[in-house]
DNA sequence: TCTGATTCAGAATACGTATTCTTAACGCGA
DNA sequence: TCGCGTTAAGAATACGTATTCTGAATCAGA
């Protein structure tokens, strides 16, 4: 049978209220009594019931992470594993826990919204890859539900959000390829509807002499097909891919065509995932400092949950670092 | 402000108890009243508060998934992403949600135990890669806390557990290499303390003419070093690795030595992760049907939570499938 | 010594729900 | 018509905690 504050109180010969105060570290409780209660708690191995606490404090200490992708893509793209790992890491040792949900289809997204928020299962939400136009965001806003975006929200400055400067990162990656002597650089973009895609494309176009762009879905498979088309149509000597997984697709397409990397084709990805090490010579990739972004997001989210008054700016831009590896360097590394 | 059953009751001019009954689909409530209450619920967008419900029902509808690894390894090994994805998938549409924790160090593991179980944050637990000797399992048992193991528990038949026949899977993989004409097959094993390692090693030894074994930590990096040693010491013509990530390490080591795959060295991994597609020609790997295992585990866990009486056997053995790809086939595929 | 402020712990209450207990109404057989 | 079983809804309670309210005791100041 479970031991409650009531039990501790009875044994310690104090009231339940006092036990609660001791637990909270209330200064006003007499030292001797505190010690006695603490001792009893210890010997009886008492732990507060988080369900009761949640109800009373109106706080579950759960943070929801909702990933808007096919469940299967979690395995394909280590980016999401990185993301989850960083969240778990940032939450470790804190009183907060992670509630995870993944779904791409709208219906399921809505039911997640219902389940997680309306029923007050979680205290706040971290949203990834959401577009500002997303209807869910409006609902969250009008419900005054605490949430933080990882991703662009420049057009909605009232939201809490952190992102990279996608224009800049694309510029940096493209410039690097130019400096390495690649002249015909193509951009293998993600879905055209996404802000990330458009921002990166703009950065790319700003640097490149002649633009060659293909839009496609995320994932290695569709990237491979799109890359094949790019290669056949434009004969580029380098491809900048939207992420490492898509870069792997590019490499597969190059392999089919007997194109050597980096001699015949330079390749650069995004996210700096462990995939980079599985490419011979290494895959050059833009490290977006997802760890720092997650830490910022969680710190901010917890602040918002604890107190709706906001300290500091609502949005932040994270720096990035180009990790140069073999796939984009023709000479000696 | 949040709308409660009390509010619905007042507006519908019934008692709160009746509202609760309507919500539960209680047959005894009058059809007319039910319709009225449901209508009010609808217009006022009522959703039950999961915190109150948790307290009252003594059930949070949260399932904990505890992964015993360094947080960082989540990104390196897609196996865990697969695992998580399968859990999320299996839980989708059900009233259950996932609470995720990852930690390798013992102290943190214990604090997770405290946080998740003792405070009753989750209703049950899925444990992965736990050894039967694990002290936590004993504590879970004596607390009668619902949990299911994904992994071997043959020596503790009173536990709920599902696993592959690791002896058999290793036999199958090794036999395949033999059939492909590889004569000197080495086994790149995981930590020697683990049952998985020992079982697979036994299966391997049972088939191979001459055993060559190296033990090492999980992960591509340590696998690469261990593989290098194996190659230098024994000159094997094939290596069976404990998982795909380690197989990637093997491939890196082979690359350094200019060994062609599969001509000079055959490679087989476990788990059939997406990594297999990132190897030129593909990496042969044993598909352990992790999805089926997860589904079994969750079904069983929910059964145990809902009713401690058990239906059917407590343990199950899942089949496997060898996915033959280029890395282990010298001729035409 | 008496009054009023202060301190500290117990009593009481609320959080929102599910369920048991209670009661009122109704139907039916005698 | 009376009595009893049955039904259906309201009243009351409990889940375990945090906190407000209350009251007793102590202390300071006059």
Name the minimum distance, in Å, from the CA of A171 to any CA of chain B: 27
Distance from CA of A210 to the nearest CA of B (A): 30
Contact B110, B116 (CB under 8 A): no
SS3 labels along B19-63: HHHHHHCCCCCCHHHHHHHHHHHHHCCCCCCHHHHHHHHCCCCEE
Segments in chain B forming alpha helices (H): 5-12, 16-24, 31-43, 50-57, 73-76, 78-91, 106-113, 135-142, 166-179, 195-207, 220-234, 244-256, 290-306
The confidence score (pLDDT) of residue B143 equals: 85
Predicted pLDDT of residue A155: 81
Structure tokens at A70: 């096919």
Q: How far is A8 from chain B (nearest CA, A)?
A: 16
Q: Give A149's contacts (C-beta < 8 A, 6+ positions apart).
A: A127, A130, A137, A159, A160, A161, A162, A163, A297
Domain B62-164+291-319 has CATH 3.40.50.2300: yes
**Average pLDDT over every residue of A162-171:** 96
3-state secondary structure of B245: helix
Out of A2, A52, A103, name the one closest to residue B92 (CB): A103
Instruction: Please enumerate in sequence order all residues whose Cβ is within 8 A of that of B127, keeping only pairs 6 or more positions apart, or say none.
Output: B66, B136, B137, B147, B148, B149, B150, B151
State how far the alpha carbon of A19 is from the alpha carbons of A13, A29, B248, in Å: 10, 10, 56
* The two structure tokens encoding residue A286: 């833009």
- The answer to whether B318 contacts chain A (CB < 8 Å) is no
Look up tokens 């088309």; give the residue.
A229
Query: CB of A318 within 8 A of CB of A289?
Result: yes
User: Does B24 contact chain A (CB < 8 Å)?
Assistant: no
Interchain proximity A278–B248, CB inside 8 Å: yes
Please, what's the b/e burial string for B67-76 (b: 16 or more CB within 10 A of its CB; e: otherwise)?
A: bbbbbbbbbb
Q: What is the 3-state secondary structure (H, E, C) of chain A?
A: CCCCHHHHHHHHCCCHHHHHHHHHCCCCCCHHHHHHHHHHHHHCCCCCCHHHHHHHHCCCCEEEEEECCCCCHHHHCHHHHHHHHHHHHHHCCCCCEEEEEECCCHHHHHHHHHHHHHCCCCCEEEEECCCCCCHHHHHHHHCCCCEEEECCCCCCCCCCEEEECHHHHHHHHHHHHHHCCCCCEEEEECCCCCHHHHHHHHHHHHHCCCCEEEECCCCHHHHHHHHHHHHHHHCCCEEEECCHHHHHHHHHHHHHCCCCCCCCCEEEEECCCHHHHHCCCCCEEEECCHHHHHHHHHHHHHHHHHCCCCCCCCEEEECCEEECCHHHCCCCC
Name the region of A45 (left: φ>0; alpha: ψ -120 to 50; beta: rest): left
Instruction: Please give the CATH topology (third level) of the domain spanning A166-288+322-328.
Output: Rossmann fold (3.40.50)
**B208 closest CA partner among B187, B228, B226, B223:** B187
Closest Cα to residue B331, out of B275, B250, B240, B266? B266
User: 38-57 in B: which are within 8 Å (CB) of A?
Assistant: 45, 47-52, 54-55
**Bridge pairing between strands B62-67 and B124-128:** parallel
Q: What is the pLDDT of residue B109?
A: 84
Whole-angstrom Cα Rg for chain B? 25
**The two structure tokens encoding residue B95:** 């009233």
Angle at A212 between CA A210 and CA A217, to 5 degrees: 155
B253 touches chain A (CB under 8 A): no
* CA-based torsion, A55, A56, A59, A60: positive or negative: negative
Residue A308 has pLDDT above 70, yes or no: no
Structure confidence at residue A320 as a pLDDT band (50, 70, 90): very high
Cβ-proximal residues to B204 (8 Å cutoff; 6+ apart), any chain: B170, B171, B174, B185, B187, B211, B213, B240
Instruction: Work out the minimum CA distance from A333 to partner chain B, whole angstroms.
Output: 16
> Within an 8 Å CB–CB cutoff, is residue A281 touching chain B?
no
Distance of CA A173 to the CA centre of its chain: 21
Mean pLDDT along residues A107-130: 88
Domains B62-164+291-319 and B166-288+322-328 share a fold: yes
Instruction: Grade residue A73 by pLDDT with cuts at 50, 70 and 90.
Output: confident
Spans of chain B below 50 pLDDT: none
d(CA A58, CA B54): 12
| Closest CB to A75 among B48, B119, B274 | B274
User: How far is residue A121's CA from residue A134's CA, in Å, rounded to a whole number?
Assistant: 22
Please choose, from the candidates B259, B290, B253, B276, the residue with its C-alpha nearest in 3D space to the C-alpha of residue B326.
B276
Between strands B284-287 and B147-150, the pairing is: unpaired
- The DSSP code sequence of B142-169 is HTT--EEEES--TT-TTS-EEEE-HHHH
Q: How many CA atoms lie within 13 A of A257 on its CB side?
A: 22
What share of chain B in percent tops pLDDT 90? 77
Q: Which region holds residue A175: left if phi is over 0, alpha if psi is between -120 and 50, else beta?
A: alpha
| Interface subset of A 139-178, CB within 8 angstroms of B | none
- Judged by CB atoms closer than 8 Å, whether chains meet at B274 and A81 is answered as no
Distances (CA, A) of A5 to A10, B51, B97: 9, 19, 28
Q: What is the mean pLDDT of residues A196-224?
A: 96
Flag if B85 and A101 touch (Cβ within 8 Å). Answer: no
* Nearest nucleic acid nucleotide to A31, CA to C1' distance: C8
- Long-range contacts formed by B111-117: CB under 8 A, 24+ apart: B111/A93, B112/B66, B113/B139, B114/A47, B115/A97, B116/A97, B116/B64, B116/B66, B117/B64, B117/B143, B117/B145
Up-side HSE of residue A289: CA atoms within 13 Å toward CB? 18
Categorize the per-residue pLDDT at A152 as very low, low, confident or very high, splitting at 50, 70 and 90: confident
pTM of the predicted model as reported, rounded to 2 decimal places: 0.92
Which tokens sit at A105? 């289809």
pLDDT value of residue B308: 60
Model confidence pLDDT, tens digit, residues B102-154: 988 888 888 888 888 889 999 999 998 777 677 788 888 888 899 999 987 87
Give the CA angle between residues B7, B8, B9 to the nearest 5°. Answer: 90
B5-57 falls under which CATH superfamily?
Answer: lambda repressor-like DNA-binding domains (1.10.260.40)
CB contact under 8 A, A88 and B101: yes
Q: Does the pLDDT value for residue A332 go beyond 80?
A: no
CB contact under 8 A, B81 and A92: no
Tokens of residue A219, six digits: 């994932």
Buried b / exposed e along A147-169 (16+ C-beta atoms within 10 A): bbbbbbbeebeebbbbbbbbbbb
B315: DSSP letter: E
- Break chain A into its structural domains and give their ranges: 5-57, 62-164+291-319, 166-288+322-328
Strand order in the sheet with A238-241: A212-215, A185-189, A238-241, A266-270, A284-287, A321-323
Cβ contact (<8 Å) for B74 and A93? no
Nearest to B85 among A55, A74, A120 (CB): A74
């Amino acid at each position: 049978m479970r031991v409650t504050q009531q039990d501790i109180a009875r044994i310690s010969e104090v009231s339940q209220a006092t036990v609660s105060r001791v637990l909270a570290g209330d200064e006003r409780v007499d030292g001797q009594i505190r010690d006695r209660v603490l001792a009893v708690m210890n010997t009886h191995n008492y732990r507060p019931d988080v369900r009761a606490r949640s109800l009373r404090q109106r706080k579950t200490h759960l943070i929801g992470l909702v990933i808007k992708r096919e469940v299967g893509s979690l395995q394909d793209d280590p980016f999401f594993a990185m993301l989850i790992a960083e969240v778990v890491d940032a939450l470790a040792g804190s009183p907060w826990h992670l509630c995870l949900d993944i779904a791409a289809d709208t219906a399921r997204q809505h039911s997640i919204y219902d389940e997680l928020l309306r029923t007050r299962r979680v205290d706040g939400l971290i949203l990834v890859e959401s577009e500002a136009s997303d209807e869910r965001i409006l609902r969250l806003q009008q419900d005054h539900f605490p949430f933080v975006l990882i991703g662009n929200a420049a057009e909605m400055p009232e939201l809490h959000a952190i992102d990279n400067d996608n224009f800049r990162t694309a510029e940096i990656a493209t410039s690097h390829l130019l400096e390495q002597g690649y002249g015909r650089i193509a951009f293998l973009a993600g879905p055209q509807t996404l802000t990330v895609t458009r921002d990166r494309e703009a950065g790319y176009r700003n640097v490149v002499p002649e633009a060659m762009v293909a839009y496609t879905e995320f994932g290695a498979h569709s990237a491979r097909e799109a890359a094949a088309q790019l290669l056949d149509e434009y004969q580029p000597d380098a491809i900048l891919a939207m992420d490492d997984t898509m870069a792997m697709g590019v490499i597969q397409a190059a392999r089919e065509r007997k194109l050597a990397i980096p001699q015949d084709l330079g390749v650069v990805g995004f996210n700096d995932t462990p995939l980079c090490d599985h490419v011979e010579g290494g895959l050059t990739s833009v490290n977006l400092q997802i760890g720092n972004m997650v830490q910022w997001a969680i710190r901010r989210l917890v602040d918002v949950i604890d107190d709706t008054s906001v300290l500091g700016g609502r949005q932040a831009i994270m720096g990035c670092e180009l990790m140069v590896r073999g796939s984009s360097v023709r000479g000696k590394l």
